[in-house]
Structure 1
């Protein structure tokens, strides 16, 4: 009991530190607004005033999934957006979601690696600059990270309890996550394939099926809307620009590799892939493996930008690189004894990193998996400290 009390006190201190950094950031700087945020604002006002769900258009479309727009619409309604500027309220909502994500990281880490790792991971998440800066951005990152961590926490409970109810709830949460960031939708399949290998349970398909049903129930209103309004099936979103932009090695958009005349954006992207892997094989192989991975993870996401520069900690760039490298080493070390829940988080990182290779690499794409990298980094830190204590302190 005393140990749990001390852990609770320590986590409370970390939580207060995280809250102070995030709220202090919001009130200390001028927040810039990205073009994506501006278009989301136009979209939500159009939805509320004219009932038209459309991104960068006056005609109904499905260019973006409805997760963030519906969250924004709810806040706009609550604060009366015609009287009050809604962006500050959205930023405060981001802080609440960010702090909830911190709590979920603690719970996940404690479940898979123990209390000391949970405290270390929470501290890393509390001070990581990107987790402070993104609270000023009206983008999908903060709600997506929260929903992903909530899904993973419930999924770990489902693995442990083996109850179909928990599996269905996890699937529903993955559906909510996918409505914010659609690239997460396939995640339950590889994670349950791992579960089958881990437990040697030949009945693993049953909770997988229930999880898929839960996901489909949550996604179904979006699918029905698209069929009824657009007269076609759209599972997630129709925007293809990130996929097409990802076909330019080194993000050199003026390479003139393929003549685009008469092609749609999707046709152009596929033709570039065909020509690139045939005529420039090594360049495209490097770009679609280490090139994109390096670009995605080499720097941290800075949100929408702000002035003056707010530094939660000194040497934030070095902190990010250290987090990425230490988490990679930790994941590799964990594979020695892979039949355990911690490895499920490795599966998530690997699968999401692989999916990112399909699209244009951006620093913002590392944001949603950084809480998991913090957990793995904390595992390594605690193991090193424990080794040092046993070898040099306790032995003395």
Structure 2
């Protein structure tokens, strides 16, 4: 067996054993947030029973569970529904769903390995994959029925095929890229503007303009065919054009209470309580629109009354919260949440330093480093508009692990080169 296969095989085996051990030791009830994961699960069950896509959050009115939703994309309920169709929605089905999520998590680990190996070599890919395999946060997340795991798997292969397309310009990579983009979009709409980053990257790679325009037209036609049923479904239910989702009202409103200097009259809890009481009988879609309008009024007031704190909050404090916070709400293997949270900011700072060192020490793959850094910057900007917390950095951390791998290998190669030069100088004298 080639050494590179042995290395990644070992990493994947470690990842599998850690994730299955967590599932075997802690079981279904402990490995649950009793929040969004339950919402997705119930939505999948109802999808099988009625054919209707629904979603009810943990604190939302009960009638949201029985009405069509446009708060989420259909990816996660469809994925879970497929598992429940085969194994039922009882205990067996729940374990099967978690094992499927673990499998998708392993696919994401393999994807970060492929990306690192293709650009910088096997050692970089193995380091990044190993860091992801043993990340306690990702071990837990791969045991939860959330969108983060399938979204990351789609995203990492989206980036991988983007790089291969730019370098090799083969049709198979273009269609693979397009498939991964559509898959990622089905789980999180935040990826929607990725084509802008891809365009910049392809232009930096001197991608043929005529071919670029041709493939852009094909991509637009495919996306039109794929999304048309979703648009029609949304129009039938809501009598308006909704391209992706209309669930940004709540996170936009909560985000207007994050940072410093924000208007705090009424306080957040009081405002949410009043809105739920006043609009108890409206649909989920209408309630999201109401929250969005209240959020816009608050944001406007914040800007007019304390512009400095507004800029500081959205440009610095909220991005810092996004990256400093950890997503480890379920403790396993006697590892404390406080310890993981304390390590998070150190890892992020080391990862950002790794980007700088990688760029300075390694001429190979600088344009790809730019793509990855732009990707992290893009998601930071998008998420910081809304309420931010550690869960949103979960699919992004592996790209920091990749930068760490590049930096470590670059430092090692520089030391070896320096040592060889020193030895040659001594032998010459």
- TM-score where L is the length of structure 2: 0.82
Shift of residue 123 of structure 1? 1.3
**Structure 1 residues 353 and 317: alpha-carbon distance in aligned structure 2, compared to 1, 3 A threshold:** same
1:249 is matched with 258
Q: Tell which deviates more after alignment, 224-233 or 266-275.
A: 224-233
2:60 is matched with none
Gaps in structure 1 of 5+ consecutive residues: none
Corresponding position: 1:21 with 2:18:
yes
2:399 is matched with 372
List structure 1 runs of 4+ shifted beyond 6 angstroms: 251-254, 257-263
Name the CA distance, whole Å, in 1 between partners of 2:373 and 2:383: 15
Q: Does the CA-based 8 Å contact 2:161-2:177 persist in structure 1? A: yes
1:287 is matched with 313
Q: Does the CA-based 8 Å contact 1:223-1:234 persist in structure 2? A: yes
Corresponding position: 1:68 with 2:76:
yes
Corresponding position: 1:358 with 2:382:
no
Q: Tell which deviates more after alignment, 380-389 or 266-275.
A: 380-389
Corresponding position: 1:113 with 2:120:
yes
Residue-by-residue CA offset, 1:265-301 (whole Å, 9 max, x unaligned): 1111111111112211111111112111111111321
Q: Tell which deviates more after alignment, 253-262 or 51-60.
A: 253-262
Shift of residue 134 of structure 1? 0.6
Name the CA distance, whole Å, in 2 between partners of 1:229 and 1:253: 36
Count of residues paired in the alignment = 390
Structure number with greater CO (CA < 8 Å, separation at least 6) is 1
Shift of residue 314 of structure 1? 12
Shift of residue 389 of structure 1? 3.3
**Structure 1 residues 62 and 252: alpha-carbon distance in aligned structure 2, compared to 1, 3 A threshold:** farther
**SS of match in other structure, 1:159:** helix
**Structure 1 residues 148 and 363: alpha-carbon distance in aligned structure 2, compared to 1, 3 A threshold:** same
Q: Does the CA-based 8 Å contact 2:359-2:369 persist in structure 1? A: no
Shift of residue 350 of structure 1? 1.5
Name the CA distance, whole Å, in 2 between partners of 1:23 and 1:313: 20
Q: Does the CA-based 8 Å contact 2:327-2:390 persist in structure 1? A: yes
Name the CA distance, whole Å, in 1 between partners of 2:185 and 2:336: 30
Q: Tell which deviates more after alignment, 144-153 or 331-340.
A: 331-340
Q: Tell which deviates more after alignment, 383-392 or 64-73.
A: 383-392
Shift of residue 376 of structure 1? 0.6
Residue-by-residue CA offset, 1:25-45 (whole Å, 9 max, x unaligned): 111123233221222232222
Q: Does the CA-based 8 Å contact 1:334-1:343 persist in structure 2? A: no
Q: Does the CA-based 8 Å contact 2:358-2:407 persist in structure 1? A: no
Name the CA distance, whole Å, in 2 between partners of 1:146 and 1:67: 13
**SS of match in other structure, 1:264:** helix
Cα RMSD of the aligned pairs, angstroms, is: 2.9
Q: Tell which deviates more after alignment, 94-103 or 157-166.
A: 157-166
- TM-score where L is the length of structure 1: 0.89
Shift of residue 87 of structure 1? 2.2
1:42 is matched with 42
**Structure 1 residues 156 and 221: alpha-carbon distance in aligned structure 2, compared to 1, 3 A threshold:** farther
Name the CA distance, whole Å, in 2 between partners of 1:326 and 1:223: 43
Residue-by-residue CA offset, 1:218-247 (whole Å, 9 max, x unaligned): 333322221233322111111121122111
1:345 is matched with 372
**Structure 1 residues 183 and 327: alpha-carbon distance in aligned structure 2, compared to 1, 3 A threshold:** same
**Structure 1 residues 252 and 55: alpha-carbon distance in aligned structure 2, compared to 1, 3 A threshold:** farther
1:235 is matched with 243
1:185 is matched with 192
**SS of match in other structure, 2:142:** helix
**Structure 1 residues 189 and 121: alpha-carbon distance in aligned structure 2, compared to 1, 3 A threshold:** same
Name the CA distance, whole Å, in 1 between partners of 2:70 and 2:218: 27
Shift of residue 69 of structure 1? 0.5
Residues 81-120 of structure 1 aligned to structure 2 (within 5 Å): 81=89, 84-120=91-127
Shift of residue 257 of structure 1? 6.6
1:152 is matched with 159
Shift of residue 342 of structure 1? 3.3
**Structure 1 residues 129 and 24: alpha-carbon distance in aligned structure 2, compared to 1, 3 A threshold:** same
Q: Does the CA-based 8 Å contact 1:127-1:312 persist in structure 2? A: no
Q: Does the CA-based 8 Å contact 2:31-2:140 persist in structure 1? A: no
Name the CA distance, whole Å, in 2 between partners of 1:268 and 1:359: 14
Shift of residue 65 of structure 1? 0.7
Q: Does the CA-based 8 Å contact 2:166-2:207 persist in structure 1? A: no
**Structure 1 residues 213 and 257: alpha-carbon distance in aligned structure 2, compared to 1, 3 A threshold:** farther
Corresponding position: 1:5 with 2:2:
yes
Q: Does the CA-based 8 Å contact 2:197-2:371 persist in structure 1? A: no
Q: Does the CA-based 8 Å contact 1:243-1:359 persist in structure 2? A: yes
Residue-by-residue CA offset, 1:54-89 (whole Å, 9 max, x unaligned): 2222222211110001011111111022x5453222
Gaps in structure 2 of 5+ consecutive residues: 57-63, 279-288, 424-429
Residue-by-residue CA offset, 1:84-117 (whole Å, 9 max, x unaligned): 4532222111111111111111100111211111
**SS of match in other structure, 1:54:** coil
